[in-house]
Amino acid sequence: MAVGILNNVEIKGIAGAVPDNVKKSEEYNNVFGEESVQKFINMTGVKKRHVALNEQCASDLCYAPAKRLLEKLGWEPSSIDGLILITQTPDYATPATACVLQHRLGLSEDCIAFDVNLGCSAYVYGIWLAATMINTQGINRVLLLVGDTSNFGINQNDSATAMIFGDGGSATALERTEGKSLKYFLKTKGSGFKHIMVPAGHARSRSKTNLEGSEYALAMKGSEIFTFSITDIPRTLKSFMSQYNIDKDEVDMYIFHQANLFILKHLSKKLGIPMGKVAVSIDRYGNTSGESIPLTLVDALGNEESKEPIKLLLCGFGVGLSWGGIYLEMDRSVCLPMIYTNDYFTGG
């Protein structure tokens, strides 16, 4: 697997935003039946989610925390050398939504800006990519934005997906800092690409006609994803931790992709760590795709003012199939409080 250490890079701030529009799982009692909904809640842990308004895009939910983060850090927009947006729900097929955000945030024309299409592993891959950029001459500050409005492409009559996904966005500020480092691993298992996918809507289906509406909705094979999550993920994490002598008991908090509560409990058991060290946000935000890790960090640490360091192990896994992990130490005060917003860009 791709594994290594990235030196001279530090996370200076993390901010997150979710729509100020809450949908409770019980609202689906009349669709799927009260017994089925309660069974879903018990299995996944999802009691409510924040769902974007029709006018809101992932870019809007990334813009708000990015703006707040720049203000909090006192960073001039002109000082940002790179902007990465990772999303599977961009504003447009063309152009890259990162270009729109570069404009909205008032960043310099000298700023590198581009999109990346990744799902559940997005944040880990994004941290690696931003840190790699910072290790390039002339790049000192990078904004990593990760967000999705997954409910845009959900079949509301599919009990497997209708109640699970929440919408949100995040912004992470990374800066070149001598003496700081992070450890990472990244993996891909493309043979499972059909396990989570939207079959239609792009080039592979461009010549087909009379496609059903369901072909444009997210389809998920739950049993395959569950098996992958409780076998490949703990095995890779154990190997990674062994390679770098990371003592599981010395890790202060484990931040896993918020797939569902059942999977989080299995990961805790497989890794031999107490659930008290596993941060959980899925009960209030749902599965928020690639931004679930930063949103969970913000949820857990957003009101901390202490500069006391905290050791974190982050792990994202899912659609692709793709997964990765980051081990780092940062100040508890790095995370800002959660933003709740229904704002959207009217100039698009």
272: left (phi over 0), alpha (psi -120 to 50) or beta: left
- Rounded to whole angstroms, the Cα distance separating 325 from 144 reads 16
- The DSSP code for 336 is P
Residues in the chain where the model's pLDDT stays below 50:
none
Helix (H, G, I), strand (E, B) or coil at 194: helix
- Rounded to whole angstroms, the Cα distance separating 228 from 233 reads 7
User: pTM (2 decimals)?
Assistant: 0.93
Helix (H, G, I), strand (E, B) or coil at 291: helix
- Rounded to whole angstroms, the Cα distance separating 62 from 345 reads 11
Q: How far is CA 33 from CA 36, 96, 156, 164, 188, in A?
A: 5, 41, 14, 16, 38
**Predicted local distance difference test score (pLDDT) of residue 42:** 93
- CATH number 3.40.47.10 given to 1-348: yes
Q: Where are the alpha helices (DSSP H) in the chain?
A: 29-32, 34-44, 58-73, 97-104, 122-134, 222-243, 261-271, 282-285, 292-301
Strand-pair category, 82-86 with 112-116: parallel
Q: How far is CA 18 from CA 64, 169, 239, 323, in A?
A: 10, 6, 34, 24
- Rounded to whole angstroms, the Cα distance separating 51 from 66 reads 20
- The DSSP code for 63 is H
77 closest CA partner among 106, 103, 102:
106
Q: How many Cα atoms sit within 13 Å of 300 on the Cβ side?
A: 21
Q: How far is CA 318 from CA 9, 194, 196, 322, in A?
A: 26, 11, 8, 6
The answer to whether 65 touches 282, Cβ cutoff 8 Å, is: no
**Predicted local distance difference test score (pLDDT) of residue 322:** 81
Domain ranges of the chain: 1-348
pLDDT in tens, 135-186: 988 999 999 999 999 887 777 887 778 888 999 999 999 999 999 999 999 9
Give me the count of residues in the chain. Answer: 348
- Rounded to whole angstroms, the Cα distance separating 66 from 89 reads 18
**Predicted local distance difference test score (pLDDT) of residue 206:** 62
**Predicted local distance difference test score (pLDDT) of residue 212:** 55
